[in-house]
Chains A and B, each alone.
Chain A
Amino acid sequence: MNGAGIMLMAGDIPQGSLCSTDQVSAFIEESLFALGEGPCVDAYRLDRPVLEPDLANAATPRWMAFTGPVLEVGVRAIFGFPLRVGGVRLGALNLYRDRPGALTADQHADALAMADIATRAVLVMQSNAPLGQIAVELSTGADFEYVVHQASGMVAAQLDVSVGQALIRLRAYAFGNARPLRAVAEDVVARRLRLDCGSEKDPTP
């Protein structure tokens, strides 16, 4: 395996990345968050491991928006394992490899054990947190993409729409201009980009 990351989910929506081991994993997590699709999202929703041993196999295109960019940064095989205990689901563990191939039985078993450990660790950490707050141990090093939510608030004010609609507009803009959602959000927050200026063209071609 080349890298791993853990995505927290709630209500079928990625909430943020708890951790990632390397830049590619961080990019995977960012794409999951930005696009709302990918192995972690499926693993969480289906409540079972989701295995894609060859992303480049055109016969099984699984994720419309997620697959292309992730292939481009060198990911060939990707695996999602739900973080769960009993009926409780927290998110998913994400593993990737730069060459195609299925997991061996041992690797599969190890991944399940790792997902289990991660689940328990998250619950233990959060059980000590003050009510209404995220445990410090969890938020340190985590990326909850706050800048995207700040940008949603700004765009909602610019376009006089709800924050939910604003997030959709941001996602559409990022996808239409083939730019990462976070970079677009950073531009909005830094006031380099407004979405109420007609053409919605990228200011930095």
Chain B
Amino acid sequence: MSMTDEQGFGKHEILVKPLEGIGRGFVLTVVVLAGIVAFGAFAYAWQLVHGLGVTGLNRPVTWGFYIINCIYFIAISYGGTMTSAILRLVNAKWRLPITRAAEVVTVCALGVGAFNIVLDMGRPDRVLNMIIHGRIQSPIMWDFYSIMLYLTCSFLYLYLPLIPDIALLRDRYPRRKRLYRFLALGYTGAPKQKHLLEKIIGALAVAMIPIAVAVHTVLAWLFSMTTQPMWHSTIMGPYFVMGAIFSGIGALIVALAILRKVFNFEEYFQHKQFNNLGLLLLVMTITWLYFTVAEYMTTLYGNEPSHMAVFNSKVSGEFAPYFWSQVVFCFVIPFIILASSRLRTIAGTVVAGISVNVGMWLERLMIIVPTLTNPRMPIGVGSYKPTWVEIAIMVASAAGIILLYVLFTKLFPIVSIWELEEDEEIEEKRRIKIVAEVVAEGKAAAGPA
């Protein structure tokens, strides 16, 4: 890798363009997003002052939007981990331009998602009790520790591959020298450093996968470890993991399309990337149907009254509109679009990605609320209507994720420059080698004659 001997980024100049200047579009985006986040903070302050009574939660529906959103946002973070780590391990070349964009989705969504648990607590002032008095037999502790580990690892997994790019910025970019010098940790690209860094990144890529799987499995176990109807099911862990990869890929497609449009990254985020992600999403769409059928068919044939009360409320009762829209958004729309190579365009995959995310949010709603409104004990059927506080905090959480993403793109390149350059160098060497071989062969053939 040639680092210091040239100024500028050559043909990759466009990748550092978003770092320059503060345009009107950027300011407007940040102000609007920050405004929404500020309103969410106000709503939370309102809840802190008055108590959780300002939400629509009640008895028996004691969990609602905060838990749904926590699971939904943590699920989105899977788009980054899984695409990036798995594709890195199988060394799929087409991943190179999109891994960074995916990893940033992971860190932003995970941080905000995990914070939603604190929003749900009746006594957030006692959050340290989780450490002081923590009991490992509670599934909440499994969540707590696995999410902390996942957050730490995904942060490192974003930061470490970023170091060479920060060093590039330090050496070749005129602004924010102090910040980049500090964050580059003295990285010069010396073979020893580079070797060590790549070794750690490789190890982290391996470690990320089981950690991520564990996180969503134990999130599912939060529900399935209780005996509540339709929660107490062995499929919940895999169902959650699968659903997380599903919505994560969908969210990643949408994020890539926006970056492509805003920063003119057509050359980096090509049809190939969207097509391949679309195919992955198609596989997950079919898997989703399989898991859903497996879950509901066993409940239906088991025909236990308490389970059937929940089942009926979803399939034909008060939650039927949500349940069947979930089927349309998670399966019908994405399947029709993604199964056809003609419709699997950039616009097509984006529509599918949005549809999947709406559908998966509805699925989280359908997993949590109908079970709670139909308790095993015949104390009557509950109901749940979220209030402005919960809706404001939900919108603010989404805005917060986008805001963090926007700020990241202002400070760091969203496409990994060093990995692209390195790949080009390898390609170049390979080409030279082939040419040399061809020439040698030509000479050998010409020799005897």
Q: Are the chains A and B members of one assembly?
A: no
